[in-house]
Structure 1
Amino acid sequence: MGNFTDTNYSTNDTVCLIDHRIHQTWFPVVYVFVFVVGFPANCLSLYYGYLQIKVKNELGIYLCNLTMADLLYIFSLPFWLQYVLQHDNWTYNELMCKICGILLYENIYISIEFLCCISVDRYLAVVHPFRFHKLRTMKAAIFVSVAIWAKEFLTSCFFFEHGEVSKDPENHVVCFEHYPIKPWEHSIHYYRFFAGFLFPIFLLLFSYCRILRVVRKSHGTQLKTKLQIKQLVLSTVIIFLVCFGPYHVLMMVRSLFEKTCVFAATVFNVYHFSLSLTSFNCIADPVLYCFASESTYKDFVTIKNCCLRFSRCSKIDRQESVEMSTPEIVRHSDAQAEKETAVLNKQQARHSLILNSQFYV
Structure 2
Amino acid sequence: MEETYNFTEYNCITNNKPLYVGYSVVLIVELILALPLNISVLYMFIFKLRFWKAKSNMVFLFNLMLADFVLLICLPVKIYHFQQGERCSKNDTECKVMLFMLFLNRAASIAFLTVICIDRYISVVHPRKRNILQVLKQSPKISFLIWFLLLPLTVPTMLRTFECGATYSPDKDDKIDELREIIFFTQIFIPFFILVFCTACIVKRLQRKSVGDRGKLRRAVFAVTSVVVVFSICFLPRAASRIAVLIIWHQDHSITQEIAAQVYDGIMCFSHIDCLLDPLIYCFCSSKFKNTYLSTIFPYFQKKVKDSEES
TM-score (norm 2): 0.82
What residue number does 2:137 align with? 137
Give the alignment of 1:74-89 within 5 angstroms. 74-88=72-86
Residues 306, 65 of structure 1: CA spacing in aligned structure 2 closer, same or farther, 3 A cutoff?
Answer: closer
Given that 1:186 and 1:255 are in contact with CA atoms closer than 8 Å, whether structure 2 keeps it comes out as no
Of the three residues 16, 19, 24, the one matched with 1:22 is: 19
Cα distance per residue 1:22-63 (max 9 Å; x no partner): 3111x2122112211212222233344442534341222211
Q: Output one character per residue of 1:82-118: Cα deviation in whole Å (capped at 9) or x when no partner.
A: 1001111756742222222111111111101110000
Q: 1:93 to 1:68 in 2, by over 3 A?
A: same
Rounded to whole Å, the distance in 2 between the matches of 1:95 and 1:15 is: 14
Q: Which residue of 1 aligns with 2:160?
A: 162
Cα distance between partner residues in 2 of 1:215 and 1:49: 30
Aligned residue number for residue 188 of structure 1:
180
| 2:280 paired with 1:284 | no
Moved over 6 A (4+): 13-17
CA 1:306–1:66 in 2, change beyond 3 Å: closer, same or farther? closer
Uncovered stretches (5+) of structure 2, i.e. residues with no partner? none
Q: Distance in 2 between matches of 1:82 and 1:14?
A: 17
Match of residue 101 from structure 2: 103
Question: Which is higher, the Rg of structure 1 or of structure 2?
Answer: 1
Amino acid paired to 1:33:
V
Aligned residues: 299
Pair 300,268 (structure 1): closer, same or farther in 2 beyond 3 Å? same
Structure 1, unaligned stretches of length 5 or more?
166-174, 310-316, 329-361
Percent of paired sites with the same residue: 20
Pair 1:297 & 2:290 matched: yes
How much has 1:189 moved relative to structure 2?
Answer: 1.8
Q: Structure 2: how far apart are the matches of 1:47 and 1:192?
A: 32
Inter-CA distance 217–303: structure 2 relative to 1 (3 Å threshold) = farther
- Alignment correspondent of 2:208: 217
Q: Tell me, what secondary structure is at the counterpart of 2:5?
A: strand
Amino acid at match of 1:75: I
Q: Which structure 2 residues correspond to residues 130-279 of structure 1 after superposition, within 5 A?
A: 130-131=128-129, 132-138=132-138, 141-164=139-162, 175-176=164-165, 181-183=170-172, 184=174, 185-193=177-185, 195-218=186-209, 219-222=211-214, 227-259=218-250, 260=252, 261-279=254-272
Alpha-carbon distance in structure 2 between the residues aligned to 1:47 and 1:14: 40
Going from structure 1 to structure 2, the CA distance change for 1:110 and 1:181 (only over 3 Å counts) comes to farther
- Aligned residues of 1:19 and 1:265 also touching (Cα < 8 A): no
Q: Post-superposition shift, 1:176? A: 4.6
